[in-house]
Structure 1
Amino acid sequence: MEHKPLRLTNALVEVAAALVEKHEERHWGYELAKRTNVKPNALYGVLTRLHERDWLSDGWEEVPAEEKRPPRRYYQVTPLGLARLGALLAQASQDRRFARLYLRPGIAQ
């Protein structure tokens, strides 16, 4: 399936930086929202677009019955996603619109 190019937005760049920074971990929407200060409606839109491109995989956590809560959906960066998100961050680091964001040098490569 052919996708339109992703438009560089603050939400996309902030979520990409958070995902790449801890690319080996599972990420939950609530945790990403807290780390990035991206509003949930924008956050889940970004996650959906990244997942559709196979930059993220997803799954549902196992919840013991005694916890009596629904399982949370998690996202993980795929190898393709790590490469593409890194390229996206490198592009963003050259764009003055994102100058206020702290894009760590080791991330945007």
Structure 2
Amino acid sequence: MRSIQRITKPTLAVLRVLMEADQSVHGFDVARRAGLAAGSAYNVLNRFQEAGHATSHWEDHNPVEGRPPRRFYELTPQGRVWAAEVLAAHPIKARHQLLPRLEIRSMGGLR
């Protein structure tokens, strides 16, 4: 098991999603709820697994035709203790504040 050295905003966002979930959550849904790109969320989830803070499993029934099977993630009991400590030590802003701010110009679109 590797320990997690850096606590980044994506790390905190994924932790919050997993702590708020009442059941395992598939990776793309973690990314969506955390406001992250899927690749960023999966990197964080993989680090959690390597550190022993999370486990995962593939969906156990046939996925929708044309869609690959989903992988579901959840914190281990030790991971929940660790996550609570990390979140208490690193209060994070609301999810919408983690995303980059976009300003709409009157005629020029997004800036």
Question: What TM-score do the two structures reach when normalised by structure 1?
Answer: 0.76
For residues 63 and 11 of structure 1, do their structure 2 counterparts lie closer, same or farther at Cα, with a shift above 3 Å needed? same
Q: Does 1:27 align with 2:19?
A: no
Unaligned runs of 5+ in 2: 96-111
Which contiguous aligned blocks of 4+ residues in structure 1 show a shift greater than 4 angstroms? Answer: none
2:45 to 37, 44, 47: 47
**SS of aligned partner of 1:57:** strand
Return the offset for 1:28.
0.8
Between the aligned partners of 1:31 and 1:12, the Cα distance in structure 2 is 15
Letter in 2 for 1:18: V
Between the aligned partners of 1:29 and 1:6, the Cα distance in structure 2 is 22
- Could you tell me which residue of structure 1 aligns to residue 78 of structure 2? 80
Q: Percent sequence identity over matched residues?
A: 29
Question: What TM-score do the two structures reach when normalised by structure 2?
Answer: 0.74
Between the aligned partners of 1:54 and 1:73, the Cα distance in structure 2 is 17
Alignment coverage as a number of residue pairs: 94
Unaligned runs of 5+ in 1: 104-109
The answer to whether the Cα contact below 8 Å between 2:17 and 2:34 also exists between their aligned partners in 1 is yes
Between the aligned partners of 2:94 and 2:49, the Cα distance in structure 1 is 24
Between the aligned partners of 2:4 and 2:55, the Cα distance in structure 1 is 19
Between the aligned partners of 2:15 and 2:33, the Cα distance in structure 1 is 12
Larger Rg: 2
The answer to whether the Cα contact below 8 Å between 2:19 and 2:83 also exists between their aligned partners in 1 is yes
Structure with the higher helix share, 1 or 2: 1
The answer to whether the Cα contact below 8 Å between 1:63 and 1:70 also exists between their aligned partners in 2 is no
